[in-house]
Amino acid sequence: MIFYLMRCLAMAKSKTTPDLILIIVTFLLLTVGLVMVYSASAILASYHFDGDSFYFVKRQLLFAGIGLFAMFFVMNVHYWMWRQWAKLGVLICFLLLIAVLIPGVGLERNGSTSWLGIGAFSIQPSEFMKVALIVFLARFLSENQKYITTIKKGLIPSLSLVFLSFGLIMLQPDLGTGTVLVMTCIIMIFTAGAQIKHFVFMGLMGLTGVAVLIISAPYRIARITSFLDPWKDPLGTGFQIIQSLLAIGPGGLLGFGLGQSRQKYQYLPEPQTDFIFSIISEELGFIGATLVLGLFCLLIWRGIRIAISAPDLYGSLLAVGITGMIAVQVMINIAVVTGLMPVTGITLPFLSYGGSSLTLMLVSIGVLLNISRYTKT
């Protein structure tokens, strides 16, 4: 422990300024998020909370504050620090994921028991598992990179851990988070240098797995068909996609203007969480939505850049893991709300309402920023 702190202090001397563009992008996303959470949730909030239209945005603001504080703190914590906690973190997260499945302990929301805790102060163990696994894999893969091209010593140990946690998450069930977790880990393994043919093989396995999952839970079939032709069952399985498209489409090039969404009037379910991008598209139009996508592109670009210029493989893998997690989550969310993918409940990083998710995202950015301070020249 002391050794690591010493080492951190030693390295602190060679610190440069963190990635400024990433900070700016983060602040921009955070600002857009707060404004849009207010716009999207005001009607619903004032309906449910006695006219308090600020109910959601106040909470989001609180978590943004906590998150930013944490981000700046973490930005100054040497990323090697987290390496130490990797094993313990993964272990604790495993226990939490199991705890959540015990009847009476986990809280059920929207058909999934993903939450632990009481009321507003509840956490999603699966969210923490994502981060813990990224740190763990970054360490494991950087230490065992020589085996990465092999199946036995490289792929199986890393993947077995990934799929064990995926399995636990799917028991909740939470396909969205599970997918993000798996995809993020695969990106890391890919970056570490695993063989392409192994990925092809895994891809086939994955497809088989998806098929099994679909067969095991028939409601997923309905979700898939509804995404192909939502108007077939406009009040049932196609409802959410249709309502999302009815927000995005009429927005047109310039949108109705901030605060002018119609679909947020209780047509679009959860306009401030999973479908906040639909409201953004409706109010700010194609141009506004494209700018938001552009911010995410900038974020990914900076993230990959940090990964490329990280001083060590561990740093590279940690950076790509964090960037990949954010990117995959953004992509799944956008694909869902624009009708390119079946509905999977997943939030849009930085923009959707949700305290623990926002805090975690900002902490992750903090880690990225820290890595950026040790950029090779």
Residues in contact with other proteins by the rule CB under 8 A? 43, 145-146, 148-149, 187, 190-193, 245-253, 259-260, 262-263, 265-267, 281, 285-286, 289-290, 293, 296-297, 300-301, 304, 307-308, 313, 316, 320, 324, 327, 331, 334-335, 338-340
Q: How far is the CB of 57 from other proteins (least distance, A)?
A: 19
Closest distance between other proteins and the C-beta of residue 194, in Å?
9
**Min. distance of Cβ 302 from other proteins in angstroms?**
10
Quote the CA–CA distance of 243 and 235 in Å, as a whole number.
10
Contact 275, 268 (CB under 8 A): yes
Using CA atoms, how far apart are residues 25 and 320, in angstroms rounded to an integer? 17
Rounded to the nearest 10 degrees, what angle do helices 55-75 and 355-372 cross at?
A: 20
Rank residues 30 and 310 by Cβ distance to other proteins and give the closer one. Answer: 310
Q: Report the amino acid identity of residue 341.
A: M
Q: Which is nearer to other proteins, 122 or 145 (CB)?
A: 145
Q: Report residue 254: phi and psi, to 5°.
A: -110, -10
Rounded least distance, CB 225 to other proteins, Å: 20
- Of 93 and 330, the one with the shorter C-beta distance to other proteins is 330
Cβ(261)–Cβ(247) under 8 Å? yes
List C-alpha distances in Å: 57 to 14, 35, 63, 67: 40, 8, 10, 15
Residue 25 sits at φ, ψ, to 5 deg, of -60, -45
Q: Which is nearer to other proteins, 86 or 317 (CB)?
A: 317
Q: Closer to other proteins by CB, 73 or 265: give it.
A: 265
DSSP bridge partners of 143: none
Nearer to other proteins, 145 or 225 (CB): 145
175 phi and psi angles, rounded to 5 deg: -60, -40
CB–CB of 275/351 below 8 Å?
no
**Smallest separation (angstroms) from other proteins to the CB of 121:** 31
Q: Which lies closer to other proteins via its Cβ, residue 55 or residue 296? A: 296
Give the shortest CB-48-to-other proteins separation in angstroms.
Answer: 12
Nearest distance in Å: CB 228, other proteins: 15
298-333 CB burial, b ≥16 within 10 A, e <16 = bbbebbbbbbebbeebbbbbbbbbbbbbbbbbbbbb
